[in-house]
Each structure stands twice: as structure tokens, then as C-alpha cells.
Chains A and B, each alone.
Chain A
Amino acid sequence: MAKFGRLIDQKRCMGCRSCVAACAVENHFTPEAPWNVMIEYEVGTYPGVKKVYNTMNCMHCEQPSCKAACDAVGAKAISKNQFGVVLIDYDKCIGCGYCAAVCPYGVPQMNTSVADLYAGKGKTAYENLAYKDRHPTHRKKAKVAEKCTFCTHKLEKAVADGKMDRIGKDQEYTPSCDLVCPVEARMFGDLDDPASNISKRIKETGAKQLKTQFGTGPQVYYVLEEGAKS
């Protein structure tokens, strides 16, 4: 069984935020509850100063702390599917915020209202879709938690089309953030397959997971810029 993951190369990333914009439109997240965020900070001392661009989205942990907390409160709204994707069921979510409280990466967002992506400028085509025509992860509700889904609607389409081998390669089967990067700083694929491009690249570059002290087993790897935080 495939276990999907992502590789983000900080040495290539130039902080353009194409990935953030692509996610915003694809998943029509509301401005107050972004699923993908660009974090910038500086490392080094003058004159050897560098800027680190660290784009963050859900780490889809192998042992997700958000799911543990959600199960503990009895909501059981968070699941991890057979492809390693951590998902929130908006209909089961009770909006308690425990997932947001325990996630070491600050990923789950409590969406207080369903707002337009571009306030005052009308809805995007995606936002105009009727709820019944949307994927369940896009049926936005106020006062529930939401987060990156690894564009699970695309992964499900790949499975339905029998095109699992095209995930991470074809536009319709690959998360939008990974598609749009102009400097190929992002890669998506099967971590369980040692022959996959992502597995090879992780091995070649010595890519690391962030905050491993929490033992949650994140499925997002980073090629760290020299001096970058992990």
C-alpha cells in the first residue's frame, strides 16, 4: 500500500508563495484559515545572512496527535486513511479545538466563519460550486477544524481512474501546491516505494522531518537550508 508524502527543498524555494496561492484556490480556504502558509526567517550573522523560506502545511503524521486528541474527546472526526492522509470529517467535528491545541506544527485551523477567499471581489469559480457538487473536504462549515488534505480529492480520482502510478506526476492526480512550484522545490509521491522519485530524493539529499522530538512521524520532509530550524 502506498504511503504518500511530500518533500520540500528549502535550498530551492525562493518564497514566491505560488504553492500558497494554488492551495487557496484549489481548496478555497478562507483567509482566516489557510491550509498552506509561508514562514520566513533569517539565519546566520552579518554578512553571512540567509533567508529561510519554510512553507508549512499538514504533516500528515503517522501517529497524528490531532487524531489522538480528537478520539480522546469522543468526536472521532479525524481519520488517517490507507494512503496515510489525515482527514477531518466536518460533520463529526464538534469544534472543540483540541486538535489545534495539541498539534506541534500549529496546523488545524478553527474556521469561525465561511468567508470569501477574496473579500469584496466576489466568489471564485470554485466557491460558486454547489455544496452537493463539491468533495466533502470542500463543503465548508463554520466552527469546525480544517486543514490540508494532500488534495485528497485528486488522490481519490487517481484511485478511481486506476492511475495511482501517475500521482505526483500528472496535474489531475497531484496536489496543486506541488504542481505550481516554478523552481521544483516541491515533490509528492509514495514514501513506501524505495524506487519512487521522492524516496530517492529524500535519500540523496538527507531530507529531514521537522520537530521529531514529538514522535508523530511527519510524512513531509525538508531539505534544510544551512542553519535552518528543524
Chain B
Amino acid sequence: MKRLIASALLGLALAAAPVLAADPPAKKATAAGKKSMAADGRFHRTHTKKLSLQCDTCHATEQKDTLFLRSGETQGLGPVDRNTCLGCHKSPAKPAWYDAKRTK
């Protein structure tokens, strides 16, 4: 009986092996996939879902920021006047992108 069960298990394993081998390993979610500027990426999810901010809280700027290297970027619907970010991201608030301690 034991032999029969062992043979059956071995047979199943051998039969399944090619199928398993052909299956690519489950694709891991990349960091870039999660942490991205895409509309469904972490950046926008944090601001819209967790913080319940409306799109126009940040994207309402009509005036184009002239002193901006990526000058060709659409700034009406795209990037936000960074002065808007200052309200929440200035030290000592966290996360602080602005006015933080001197970097070594």
C-alpha cells in the first residue's frame, strides 16, 4: 500500500513538474510599481485616499512657475506649484522635504 501511495505521489510530482517549471515565478511587485507618480501609485494614493485631498487642492494652480527646469512639462494639470507642498512638507513636519537639517 505504501509503495502504491509513494508511486502515485511520485507520478503526480513528475507530471506536475513540467507545468510548474513552465510557469514563470510569480512576478514580484516592484518598488517602482508601488512607489510611483502614476495616478494609482503610492504618491497619489497617499494624498487622495489617506489624506482625502481633492485633486484641485494641489492641481488648481493656473499660474506657471517660470523658474522650473522642466519648463516643457504641463503645469496646469501636471506638476504642482511646490509652494503648495510647503504647507505640509516643511520641517519639523514629517515627512519634511524642505527646510530640513543640513545634510552631511
**Which residue numbers of A lie inside 8 Å of B, CB to CB?**
34, 37, 39, 41, 54, 56-57, 62-65, 67-69, 72-75, 80, 94-98, 100-107, 109, 143, 210-211, 213-217, 229-230
Contact = CB atoms under 8 A, between A and B. Distances in A.
Please report whether the interface of chain A is mostly helix, strand, loop or mixed according to DSSP: loop
B67 A94 contact: no
Interface of B: 30-32, 35-37, 41-43, 65-71, 73, 79, 82-83, 85-86, 89-91, 95-104
Please report whether the interface of chain B is mostly helix, strand, loop or mixed according to DSSP: loop
A214 B99 contact: yes
Nearest to A97: B37
30 contacts: A56-B67, A56-B69, A62-B103, A63-B99, A68-B100, A69-B95, A73-B35, A94-B30, A94-B31, A95-B32, A96-B36, A96-B43, A98-B35, A100-B37, A101-B37, A101-B43, A101-B79, A102-B85, A105-B69, A109-B69, A143-B32, A210-B67, A211-B67, A213-B83, A213-B86, A214-B82, A214-B86, A215-B98, A216-B99, A230-B67
Contacts, number: 110
